[in-house]
């Protein structure tokens, strides 16, 4: 099946042995979307790496950017110097991204199981969030907005108000969409008891995210290993005990509601202006350090200082842009909770302006290993439901 079959979540190939309609063996064939991102990053500066990682899991770009930037900041030793406003913006953008990603999981899963109304509604709701991404970053996806040291630019002047106005509509539409499927006898018939994988199986395969939490284990890195100030936000880890595709669906529904809670708390903290980039001239560009009279970042005041007052500042600015900053020798592993599970970044620095090695633990890659355990012994139609409940993104699998 695949790699061009519409039910395989992108260019995923499933090698299946059948006895009639019963699956006796199932294997995943991957590599059709290989882009060489990790190798390419060895030939780009630390900041340029952001534009590569944002294209891995293309449905969760802000998570890719954040885990990479957290790893770079850890190597630089500046984790505790990141402005609070930048961290809050990161959290808000990630949680908006979590909702949009789960909506795609719901929409594509519905399409693959014949619930076309869920697909139409899911993509409609996602547009509300993509409009916010475009307002804040200028792009709907792959924005490279989160940078080492903070974020590329502050929110627009009316950004907080516009996001706050959007949330009630998003909450209502999410309820309307999920009410179509929750306790729906047809939907439950296609997902209840399907794609079964218990806690022992998850631990053996290294599975994380909604699949793991569907076994009843409340493992969420936002709680167990907080980052970006998540320990200061109030939210619940959603769990189920069904170990099946329906439980994973319920978890994604619950996580979207919890994400709205976190976004509302983040908006309350973004009322006052402040810096969004680390105050370190060795890392940040002068424009990112300049705060205008209105309290907003990216002021043009820096041009006068660089061009008219300091030759050294002009030379430094030139080298910072053309070569990039240097990172001390060392290696680091950082992990965050993406919509699909534990997203890890292993960076190695040789002391230069480029990574010596960059490697990512993408949850889609790890979780796909569970396809055989979930589907062997079941029907072909149930194999489609199992893959849909994993919600793999092949850009993250192949990299």
For the chain, helix (H) and strand (E) counts, in that order, are 18, 7
Does 357 or 114 have the greater pLDDT score? 357
Q: Is the pLDDT of residue 399 over 70?
A: yes
Residues 108/110/111/115 CA torsion (nearest 10 deg): -160
327 CB neighbour count, 10 Å cutoff: 25
Helix (H, G, I), strand (E, B) or coil at 13: strand
Question: Is the model's pTM score more than 0.75?
Answer: yes
CATH of segment(s) 13-283+325-397: 1.10.645.10
pLDDT tens figures, 245-269: 999 999 999 999 999 999 999 999 9
Taking a C-beta distance cutoff of 8 angstroms, is the pair 276, 92 a contact?
no
Q: Is the pLDDT of residue 119 over 60?
A: yes
Distance CA 181, CA 97 (A): 22
| pLDDT on residue 292 | 52
Does 302 or 58 have the greater pLDDT score? 58
Q: Is the pLDDT of residue 329 over 80?
A: yes
The CB-side HSE value for 363 (13 A sphere, CA atoms) comes to: 24
* Average pLDDT over all residues of the chain: 88
pLDDT tens figures, 29-38: 888 889 999 9
Domain ranges of the chain: 13-283+325-397
Average pLDDT over residues 222-248: 92
Model confidence at 343, pLDDT cuts 50, 70, 90, reads: very high
């Amino acid at each position: 099946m695949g790699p061009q079959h519409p039910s395989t979540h992108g260019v995923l190939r499933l090698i299946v042995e059948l006895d009639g309609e019963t699956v006796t063996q199932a294997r995943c064939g991957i590599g059709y979307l290989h882009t060489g991102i990790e190798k390419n990053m060895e030939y780009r500066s630390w900041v340029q790496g952001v534009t590569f990682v944002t294209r891995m899991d293309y449905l969760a770009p802000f998570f890719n950017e954040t885990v990479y930037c957290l790893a770079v900041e850890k190597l630089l030793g500046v984790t505790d110097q990141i402005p609070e406003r930048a961290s809050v913006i990161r959290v808000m953008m990630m949680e908006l991204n979590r909702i949009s990603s789960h909506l795609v999981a719901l929409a594509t899963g519905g399409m693959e199981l014949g619930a076309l109304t869920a697909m139409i509604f899911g993509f409609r709701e996602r547009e509300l969030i993509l409009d916010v991404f475009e307002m804040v970053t200028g792009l709907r996806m792959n924005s490279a907005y989160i940078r080492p040291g903070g974020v590329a630019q502050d929110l627009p002047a009316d950004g907080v108000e516009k996001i706050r106005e959007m949330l009630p509509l998003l909450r209502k539409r999410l309820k309307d969409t999920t009410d179509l499927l929750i306790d729906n006898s047809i939907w439950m018939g296609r997902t209840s008891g399907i794609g079964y994988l218990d806690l022992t199986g998850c631990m053996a395969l290294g599975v994380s995210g909604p699949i793991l939490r569907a076994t009843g284990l409340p493992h969420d890195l936002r709680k167990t290993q907080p980052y970006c100030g998540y320990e200061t936000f109030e939210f619940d880890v959603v769990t189920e005990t069904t170990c099946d595709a329906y439980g994973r669906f319920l978890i994604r529904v619950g996580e979207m509601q919890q994400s709205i809670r976190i976004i509302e708390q983040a908006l309350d903290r973004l009322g006052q202006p402040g810096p969004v980039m680390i105050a370190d001239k060795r890392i940040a560009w002068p424009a990112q350090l300049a705060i205008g009279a209105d309290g907003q970042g990216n002021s043009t005041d820096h041009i006068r200082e660089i061009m008219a007052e300091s030759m050294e500042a002009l030379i430094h600015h030139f080298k910072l842009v053309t070569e990039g900053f240097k990172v001390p020798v060392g290696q680091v592993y950082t992990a965050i909770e993406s919509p699909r599970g534990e997203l890890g970044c292993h960076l190695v620095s040789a002391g230069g302006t480029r990574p010596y090695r960059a490697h990512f633990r993408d949850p889609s890659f790890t979780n796909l290993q569970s396809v055989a355990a979930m589907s062997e012994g079941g029907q072909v139609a149930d194999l489609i439901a199992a893959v849909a409940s994993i919600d793999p993104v092949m850009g993250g699998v192949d990299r």
